[in-house]
Every structure is written in C-alpha cells, then in structure tokens.
Amino acid sequence: MDIAVIGSNNTDLTTYITRMPIEGETIEAPDFVIGFGGKGSNQAVAASRLGSEILMLTCVGDDDFGRMYLRNYVDNGISTDHVKQVSGTSGVAPIFVDPESHNRIIIVKGANNGLLPEDVEAVADVIADCSLIVCQLEIRMETTEAAILLGERLGIPVLLNPAPASPELKLELASKCRYFMPNESELALLTGMPTDTDDQVCEAAKILLDAGCEHVIVTLGARGVLWLSNWGDKLKIEPVNVSPVDTTGAGDAFIGCFADSVVRGLGVADAIRRANAYAALSVTRRGTQSSYPDLAAFSNWLGEGEGADASV
C-alpha cells in the first residue's frame, strides 16, 4: 500500500441555490445532486484515481448511504477490508453552492464517530507497509491522535489536513506531522495568530515549524498556496486561472494529489504545483469526488488546453 487514509466518509447532499433563504422563508433551488464526499474519502479517492494504492480506514452506517459508499470504494479501486460498519446512519453533508460557486457545508458525522483508536491499532501491521499516513479532523480527535502517534512510532510520515477547524487540536499533536496542510482560518485557530496577509501567514506558520513540523503548506483559496519548511524553503504558488463552477472539495483534491505526488517521489515544490493544478481542474466540474479527474484526464488537461499554463 502507498497511502493510509484514516478519516471520514459522507454522502454529500448538494443543493445549487440562487441565494440562502432568510428565517421563516421557503425558496426554490434550481438543482440538487447526491454524491460521495467526506474529507478523508475525498482525499483517498483523488489519490487512488491518480494511481496510488490506498488503505482506507473509515466507518459507515448500516443504511443505504453506507451500502452505496462501500460500492463507491470498490468502483474507485479502494479495498473495503478496513471499512468498519456500525448500526445507525452514515455521515451526511448538506451542502449549498451559490451562483458564484462558493459553498456552505454542514456535516452530520453519524457513523464517522464509530471509528475508534483501537481500530487504528488493529491495522497497525498493514499501515506499517504504507509510505504516508493522511489524516483530517472529521472523525474523533482521539482516533486521529492514535493515527498520528502510530505514524510516529512506526516512523511513517504523517500529513495532517486540520479540517474542519477544531479548537480540540493541540499544537503538540500537530507538530508531530511532517506535512501540516491547513487553510488560513485553520492556521489562525491553531496558532491564535492573524492570517489575513501572506506575512501574517508566514509568522503563524513559523510557530508550527518551530514546534517540529517539517513542512507547513497553507492553502489560501483565490490567493494561491504558501509553503514554508524548517530548512528555510519559502514559496508562494499562484492559483491556476480557471472558471470555477463548484469549489466544494477542491482542498481535498489538492491534498489527495499532493499525497499521490509525494509517494511517487516528487519534491515538495513540484508536488504542490501538481496539486494546485489538480484542484484547479476539479473546480471546473460540479460536486466533490465527481469533479476529480483520473490520471489520464489530468495528464491530458495538463498537456493541452487551459492546464498547459499550470506550470507543473
């Protein structure tokens, strides 16, 4: 296995709206789509479509959403051997996407809360064969902590995407991760520092570097990506110019492609450039996993058309 992803799955219930209703108001929306999402599984599916072999450790419910999700892993070349099933409802995410392609997301964790620290320990011998562990914060904090500590014990690098932002995440735990990959608001919450400008982002990132992270890679949405390492690397990568239709899951596309790139042996700067291009392509399509291209489609886009300017 290349990458162990220890994280969530949600069924995304996406409504494309013209505007949000005000209190007490009922309005009509033009479109609605059910899709596969959840930050952990999104990252796993992106990396799998790009060719990485994935160990997916997650938990679904015993409902139709859970059963459909098991099929989705198989369809994406991901084994369900380590997908736990508990009684109750699977994770869901009502999502609202506005005409400017911005999204608002609510998560109901459901069965994701059923993934426990002992489930991580139970597959430690399989995780030991992986080159990278990828975590987010959409499952119990103690389970993510068990995954990070297992990585430390086995000497396997850990990539932590601290999303959704959580005050429960402690700097001491985050600093055990080789790759810490927040957006600017997640970085602000963890460090207590402002992150409105690039200089402020750099100051906040230094707290993580000083604490022990090797690489802090901050996604800044329309402002691009900032990378700082504790060897003195500092790089700003500008966003790729595309016409977005739905930005949901773009951050997960970025992480999944970055993880795939690192296990393929790319250096961090090249991995960021490639992930930046992959995320840009994803926002030109609707949905989360439904917007992630496979390796052939991505390579084709990079070689021709708009993606040819992506400087990967």
Question: Helices in the chain by DSSP H: which ranges?
Answer: 39-49, 64-75, 117-122, 124-127, 141-154, 171-174, 184-191, 198-211, 250-263, 268-282, 295-303
Residues 8-27 that bind ligand RIB (CB under 6 A): 10, 12
Q: Which x/- pattern, by CB under 6 A, does the window 44-73 give for ligand RIB? A: ------------------------------
Parallel, antiparallel or unpaired: strands 103-105 and 92-97: antiparallel
In angstroms, the CA 311 to CA 158 distance is 27
Our finding on whether 2 is near ligand RIB (CB under 6 A) is no
**Of 78 and 207, which has the nearer Cβ to ligand RIB?**
78
Q: Is 287 in the site for ligand RIB (CB under 6 A)?
A: no
- Judge whether 283 and 244 are in contact, CB under 8 Å: yes
Among positions 4, 6, 37, 144, the unique one binding ligand RIB when judged by CB under 6 A = 37
Q: Phi and psi for 19 in degrees, rounded to 5?
A: -165, 165
Q: Does 138 bind ligand RIB (CB under 6 A)?
A: yes
Least distance to ligand RIB, CB of residue 138, Å: 6
- Please report, for residues 163, 234, 279, the alpha-carbon distance to residue 91 in angstroms, rounded to integers and kept in the order given: 16, 38, 24
Q: How many residues does the chain have?
A: 312
Token pair of 69 as six digits: 């999700």
Total residues at the site for ligand RIB (CB under 6 A)? 15
252 is catalytic: yes
Question: Does 114 engage in binding with ligand RIB (CB under 6 A)?
Answer: no
> Which residue in 151, 249, 256, 293 binds ligand RIB (CB under 6 A)?
249
**Torsions phi, psi of 2, nearest 5?**
-90, -50
Contact between 93 and ligand RIB by CB under 6 A: the answer reads yes
The window from 36-44, 80-88, 234-242, 258-266 that contacts ligand RIB (CB under 6 A) reads 36-44
Q: Of the ranges 69-77, 220-228, 248-256, 302-310, which one interacts with ligand RIB (CB under 6 A)? A: 248-256
Q: How far apart are CA 253 and CA 175, in angstroms?
A: 23
Say which of 252, 260, 270, 294 is annotated catalytic: 252
Residue 184, CA atoms < 13 Å, CB-side half-sphere: 17
Active site residue ranges = 252
Residues that bind ligand RIB (CB under 6 A): 10, 12, 37-39, 42, 93, 105, 107, 138, 248-249, 251-252, 288
